[in-house]
Structure 1
Amino acid sequence: MPDDEIQTLNRPEAAPHQALPRPAATPAAAPQPQWLGPVLIVGIVLAALNLRPAITSLGALFEETRTGLGMSGTVAGLITSVPALCFAAVGVTAPRLSRRFGPAAVVCAGMAAIAAGLLIRPFASNAAGFLAASALSLAGIALTNVLLPVIVKRWFPDRVGTMTGLYSMALAAGTSLAAAATVPLTSALGGSWRTGLLVWAVLALAAVLPWLPIATAARRTRAAEAAAAGTAAGAPADTGPRVVRSRTAWALACYFGLQATGAYVTMGWLPQIFRDAGVSAATAGVLLAVTMVMGVPLAFVIPRLAGRMRNQGPIAVTLGLFGLAGYLGLYLAPAAGAWAWALLLGISNCAFPLVITMIGLRARSSAGVVRLSAFAQSTGYLISIPGPLLIGALYQHSGGWDLPLALMAGLLVPQVALGVLAGRDRTIEDECGMRN
């Protein structure tokens, strides 16, 4: 890898007017068409908008869907655990697919899978068909989850923080939009849960469109570089680091898992915590929306700030302290300070855009980013699976929220420590003994 690419993360981010991306420099890099920059930005934003509506739209209509399909409690519980399982199982295949077809082509296929699943599942006549269609969408989400940081690193190496902030903000907006708008849209379109779920396929189909020309342009670039290097375009050499040897990779994976645990617990249980404290159901839903909406502006600010810092540990500490304050408030006065606790937890949950930014900063090469992204996200989602189930079991066993809140506050301590380790100014290539 050329020295100018190795040093790219030590440069300040490019000025905002520089719209045209440049792939990581190689001697045989093909010239890029002028339209690619704006289309890539649109494609990244649309892809990010589609990474959560398949999940949060179902959450809004879950009771109606269960009734309509005659799901048993066991099947319903399986469906709620499928996202994390798919993200872990499918995400780990992303490096191999990216090497074979290129990250842009895989993201394009991922968008198509999301759209296909969202189109099919409202027409399912039984729980098995619904689960299969949902799994198709979730597989597309899993691949795109892993590869968007790679796209950013590949095409915007001098603007990792800014571009990560842009798609993190879009992801948060898509999450909040689907959660808030699904029920009103369902009512406006006749009241059928099938129509309410189907409407999100339109957004997914729109996301496929920009990725078709992006994938075509990327394939031509890969072919030109492979021809110049005398290698097969479809099977480039695997020169990425072995991330399991990297302490930073493990710190990132565990940090990802703990922040995902906190986010899933918040989305699943926060309204119930408020309702048990005497807050009305309607207000509890609004409080959850406030928590989720906090991620929209902060998801843009935090990655930009992180991208300008050599060490992101202080941000991890700050977010953890906000979370500790929020859980302490829920423990002491859940109803009296409900709005403040919702805001504090919303800020704490912005550990997600931070860890996504760190994935892009902790590897020098695109090969390193794709391996690190797949490892950190797949391992992290596996770590997050027991969390919401354990919180539910503690709540049922103890009959209150003291023990669950104490556990969540306790988990923030190792999360902060891992964030400090993951935020250190080093790369997985150095830790794995690779020299470029």
Structure 2
Amino acid sequence: MTADVSARPLWRGRALAVLGILLCAFSLRSAVASLSPLIDHIAADFTLSSTVLGLIGTAPPVCFALFGLATPLLERRLGLERVTVIALTAIAAGLVLRGFSVDAVTLLLATALIFAGVGMGNILLPPLVKKHFPDRLGVMMTLYTTSMSLSTFLPPLVAVPVADAASWRLSLGMWGVFAIAGVIPWIIMLVRDRTAAATASALPVMRQPADPEIDPATLSTGPIAVAPTSSRIFGRLARLPLAWALAIVFGTSSTMAYVSFAWLPSIVTDLTGVSAATAGLLLSLFAFMGLPSSLLVPVLVVRFQATRPLFLVSAVSGIVGIVGLLLWPGPVLVWLWITLFGIVGAMFPLALVLISIRARTPESAVALSSFVQSAGYVMAAAFPFAVGILHDATDAWTAPLLVIIAVLVLSIPFGIVAGRRRTVEDEWELRHGRW
């Protein structure tokens, strides 16, 4: 989908938006990835039951789904930028409070606050990019998905050394600095735009000449009034195969991620006999494979419309990786299988880019982002538990891995539908008339 506006330098008049988006993106993943490496350190101070750990493990997709549905209502009243400030403030407060946890309950409550903010931020980022960078979608999606990839594998690398050198509380709380820093650009933009609006309203008679240095799209930080998100739009999206296809693509990506972070170390340890330390490195390899994808996928989609080939490559690679683990497990070949399976991570930046380009306007992108991510996270919340139940019932990993393969195979038709080169508005108009 080609932007309707002429391209201009990325930083020109938009430096604050660039910083705000990148810091927000970094905070979304670092908030999730910074806890699991420190469970043993935390358990040394107070008891963490398996029930609490299970709730913490399933909290991200559940909170993401719930607050993904609530975010458009807030955006309708407050605007994208104000809700972004609320989301980042919740993340920062939760991260700091998590560092002061005194028992399992306070740890769980602080974690829920973090994921509430992350759930809102997940929905807001694609429409923020579409609103502020309609002429640089590929570049900005590359930058922000790369920021998310960096914040996925960086916290596990430094969490334990910081906890050993200082404390687990500092190791958990320090990531709040990025969320706090992410609030600042949006507040500055809101204050600046309110001042500009007040100045303009004080001169109602004088007609001011247009300033070529100012892009009007960057000045509208209040609620979107053109076509506000509503239950009517959600109802329309629920009737569109394209919207459901995007939700399945996103849900498949999230399912692979959360199943892997929950069970991949146990799977490779049991099947290949590697040590726990090696299993941790293999999990990091899986996460690292998302970095090249985040660099390449947005550009390939926006410039070359390579949606279907990218989806097929990621799905088939994931299937081959799991089949390899089942049929030819071994301490050497496992590195190849996890590398191949990690390519499935390309679905995540692919889904995010599609949310931006499969809607005509930022307000439609908010609705589509909420619909796709909420439905996708509901799907993702079910499978980590299902994998655990199947493993307990069969005392083996064959059935759980076959389920993962089935999810990838069944997602392929939806990936093909998601590759249609039209927006949700286009599809609605083809089927039902005027949007």
Q: Who is 1:25 aligned against?
A: none
Cα deviations by residue, 1:235-272 (Å, 9 ceiling, x for unpaired): 73644543222211111112211221111111222211
SS in 1 for 2:135: coil
Alignment of 1:294-333 (within 5 A): 294-310=289-305, 312-333=307-328
Provide the C-alpha distance between the structure 1 equivalents of 2:151 and 2:73, rounded to a whole number of angstroms. 28
Among 404, 407, 410, the residue aligned to 2:403: 407
Q: Who is 1:119 aligned against?
A: 96
**Alignment: residue pair count:** 408
Provide the C-alpha distance between the structure 2 equivalents of 1:328 and 1:288, rounded to a whole number of angstroms. 18
Alignment of 1:25-424 (within 5 A): 36-189=13-166, 192-217=167-192, 236=225, 238-240=227-229, 241=233, 242-276=236-270, 277-310=272-305, 312-335=307-330, 336-424=332-420
Q: CA deviation at 1:49?
A: 0.8
Return closer, same or farther for 1:224/1:59 CA change in 2, 3 Å cut-off. farther
Return closer, same or farther for 1:405/1:101 CA change in 2, 3 Å cut-off. same
Is 2:14 the partner of 1:19? no
- Aligned AA for 1:236? A
TM-score by length of structure 2 reads 0.87
- Aligned AA for 2:240? S
Contact 2:162 2:168 in 1 (8 A): no
Cα deviations by residue, 1:36-70 (Å, 9 ceiling, x for unpaired): 41221122111111112222111111233245332
310-319 vs 244-253, greater mean Cα deviation: 310-319
- Aligned AA for 1:334? P
Q: Who is 2:219 aligned against?
A: none
Provide the C-alpha distance between the structure 2 equivalents of 1:261 and 1:302, rounded to a whole number of angstroms. 19
Contact 1:104 1:218 in 2 (8 A): no
Q: Percent identity?
A: 38
Provide the C-alpha distance between the structure 2 equivalents of 1:110 and 1:137, rounded to a whole number of angstroms. 9
Contact 2:245 2:414 in 1 (8 A): yes
Provide the C-alpha distance between the structure 2 equivalents of 1:44 and 1:224, rounded to a whole number of angstroms. 27
Contact 1:95 1:374 in 2 (8 A): yes
Q: Who is 2:2 aligned against?
A: 10
> RMSD in angstroms over aligned alpha carbons?
2.5
Cα deviations by residue, 1:333-385 (Å, 9 ceiling, x for unpaired): 22231111121122112210000000111110111100000000011101111
**Any gaps of 5 or more consecutive residues in structure 1?**
1-8, 21-33
**Any gaps of 5 or more consecutive residues in structure 2?**
205-221
